[in-house]
Amino acid sequence: MRRTSRTRLAAVLVAAFTLPTVVSAQESTQKDKKPMKNIVQVAVDAGSFKTLVAAVQAAGLAETLQGPGPFTVFAPTDAAFAKLPDGTVTALLADKEKLASILTFHVVSGKVMAADLIKSNGATPKTINGLPLDIVVRGGKVYVNGVNVVTADVQASNGVIHIIDAVLLPEAAPAGAGR
């Protein structure tokens, strides 16, 4: 009986000292929790996707990527766009159809997290423009058509963003890229 009383007393003391901390942590999380932003808002706020955001707007895709989704976007940074030959971005911004084709080649329907990408090693999911991507895991890194995913699982209210270090070009998508 004495052992049971000590066990109960210990449990009560632990609960008394930890319960307020847990409750206050939950309350502050709920108070601090702001509505999650959509894919376009997340890209705008990040600051390193100015070219991508401008391209999405020029192609008339902003409204779609602000919609319910879910979408998985392989998002090239401004530095990735800078790797393209001189004049390419300007030419693409002037050709809405080609721009839309390239941008939709960066989007897969559904929310595909990094763990899903790793499990799908060798998969070829179809993009929104209908062409497949080649997912390869090599040396612990995920590659999409040979392009490195540098940051994965950036959450948005309508999907997820995976940051890549180059622009995916549909005509440069040979089977087995990155292997």
State the virtual CA torsion across 172, 110, 55, 83 in degrees, nearest 10: -40
> Mean of the per-residue pLDDT values for the chain?
81
For residues 24 and 112, the model is more confident at 112
For 33-68, what is each residue's pLDDT tens digit?
A: 666 899 999 999 998 999 999 999 999 999 999 999
Amino acid letter, residue 47: G
**What is the longest distance spanned by two Cα atoms in the chain?**
83
CB of 122 closer than 8 Å to CB of 115: no
Residue 152 is predicted with a pLDDT of: 93
Task: Assess whether pLDDT exceeds 50 at residue 174.
Answer: no
CA separation for the pair 96, 133 (Å, rounded): 22
Q: Residue 148 gets which letter from DSSP?
A: E
Q: Which residues of 135-150 are buried (b: 16+ CB within 10 A; e: fewer)?
A: bbbeeeebbbbbbebe
List, for residues 79-94, the tens digit of each pLDDT value.
999 999 999 999 999 9
What's the CA gap between 120 and 116, in Å, rounded? 6
Q: What is the pLDDT of residue 35?
A: 64
Provide CATH code, domain 39-172. 2.30.180.10
Q: Is the pLDDT of residue 160 over 50?
A: yes
Q: Which range (6-10, 63-67, 93-97, 124-128) has the least confidence?
A: 6-10
Its pTM stands at 0.76
The confidence score (pLDDT) of residue 123 equals 84
Alpha-helix residue ranges (DSSP H) falling in the chain: 2-32, 39-46, 50-58, 62-65, 78-82, 88-94, 96-104, 114-119
What average pLDDT does range 115-143 have in this prediction? 90
pLDDT for residue 32 is more than 50: yes
Q: What is the pLDDT of residue 122?
A: 81
The count of residues in the chain is 179
Supply the pLDDT for residue 50: 95
Put residue 71 in one of left, alpha, beta given phi > 0 → left and psi -120 to 50 → alpha.
beta
Using CA atoms, how far apart are residues 69 and 159, in angstroms rounded to an integer? 6
Domains of the chain, residue spans: 1-33, 39-172
Identify the residue with better confidence: 32 or 113. Answer: 113
**Residue 102 neighbours by CB distance under 10 Å:** 20
What distance in Å separates the CA atoms of residue 56 and residue 54, rounded to the nearest whole number?
6
Q: Is residue 6 scored above 80 in pLDDT?
A: no
Judge contact between 170 and 132, C-beta under 8 A: no
